[in-house]
Amino acid sequence: MSTLTANLTENITTIIRPPYFYISGFTGIPNMKYYYVFLCFVYIISLMGNSFVMFVIYVDRSLHSPKYIAVFNLAFTDMCESTALVPNLLDTFLFGRQFISYNQCLANLFFVVIFLFMQSFNLIILSYDRLVAICLPLRYHMLVSHRSMFQLTGAAWVFAVLILLIAVGLITRLSFCRSVVINSYFCDHYPLYSLAAPCSDVLPNLVMSNLIACVIFYIPMVVIVASYICIIHTLFTITLPKDRHRAIKTCTSHLILVAIYYLPINITYIFVYMIPLNIRMINLSLTSALPPMLNPIIYVLKTEEFMVSAKRMLKRRGDWGSDSLSSDDDEAVYKRVEEDPLEEQGWGLPQDGFGVPLWGMDQLARL
């Protein structure tokens, strides 16, 4: 009797780990190879754009400001997220390699989700920069310093790594005794642990899945919306229309990135049971691939200070500098940036680097 009980206990406690999983991905959709080719071009543009942004920030000392620590981290995260997802997706479906080993699947889950974490956290950090620059201009250089930016980005990385290690660790305790088919385009968290539901207790995984969704999507979006409510309230107190228009212009770029990142994902998860699986996967894959390509174009490359630095670097390294950078106005801009990167030509008020004036003296006058 004791032998039988021991055998039963051993069978119950044995963890069944399959040697591989099968990623089903997009099924029944004609001409999907054109979509994969499109993702390939998106990945190449994203890689080039973010690499260029990081290179310019690293080389140009005038961009070694606290704000550009967050911008550099955003570009690095975008490039890594694209690299973690798109090449594997193309290799899986374009070349028909849909079988993935157990350890490779967990690694794929870890790296894809951790960079999604960091994309969301970077948007919060940049919204914090906007909030302080517009609502607390007199304290901008105290609150947005090199130390504070390194602390924010470092804390975000540590938190993301810990959350993902816990999520992956909880999966290693599961037994997969039935299907090994993952109904997604990568080793996604929910489709993966759901396969173990008949054989293991997946309640801790379910709690972690909901926590990850809240931390990546819902809480950051609420924080960003709250920050912009404060920004809008402050904008109504600005007396000069030119200052108000300039602040709104720079905030619009950030809001576009927020909308591109959060809206498609939230709409997909809100109507998850109404949207067909293939459409849902296409929407989520585009949401993961397009923001890393658009971020350098919308946010960084439209910033005057960054464009000045990029032109100056290209002038030193290229052959066409004498045609495009020979005007006195451009030379004056370069000299101004070298002397004080927070001073905007023709404004007479210091700026935060994105072109938003730090109109603290005007606020002091009203006090």
| 239-291 tens-digit pLDDT | 677 777 777 777 777 888 888 888 888 888 788 778 888 888 888 888 888 88
Q: Please report which confidence band the pLDDT of residue 111 belongs to, taking 50, 70 and 90 as the band edges.
A: very high
> What whole-number percentage of the chain has pLDDT above 70?
80
Q: What is the pLDDT of residue 361?
A: 39
Sheet of 99-101: strand order equals 99-101, 20-23, 181-182
Decide: 338 and 308 in contact? Cβ < 8 Å: no
Q: How far apart are CA 104 and CA 124, in angstroms?
A: 31
Span 3-40, pLDDT tens digits: 433 343 344 456 788 899 999 888 888 888 899 999 99
Which residues contact residue 12 at a Cβ distance below 8 angstroms, ignoring those fewer than 6 apart?
Answer: none
Span 300-338, pLDDT tens digits: 766 777 777 777 777 776 544 444 444 444 444 444 444
Does pLDDT of 45 surpass 80?
yes
Residue whose C-alpha is closest to residue 176's, from 24, 23, 25, 19: 19
Q: What is the pLDDT of residue 317?
A: 66
What predicted TM-score, i.e. pTM, was given to this entire model?
0.79
Q: Residue range 34-60: average pLDDT?
A: 91
- Sign, CA dihedral 208-212-214-219, equals positive
Q: What are phi and psi of 23, to 5 degrees?
A: -90, 110
Does pLDDT of 168 surpass 60?
yes
Answer with the residue of higher pLDDT: 348 or 56: 56
Which residues contact residue 90 at a Cβ distance below 8 angstroms, ignoring those fewer than 6 apart?
Answer: 36, 39, 40
Span 69-83, pLDDT tens digits: 988 999 999 999 999
Q: How far apart are CA 200 and CA 300, in angstroms?
A: 47
Q: What is the pLDDT of residue 239?
A: 61
Radius of gyration of the chain (CA): 24
Chain centroid, CA 34 distance in Å: 26
Question: 67: how many CB neighbours lie within 10 A of its CB?
Answer: 22
Does pLDDT of 222 surpass 50?
yes
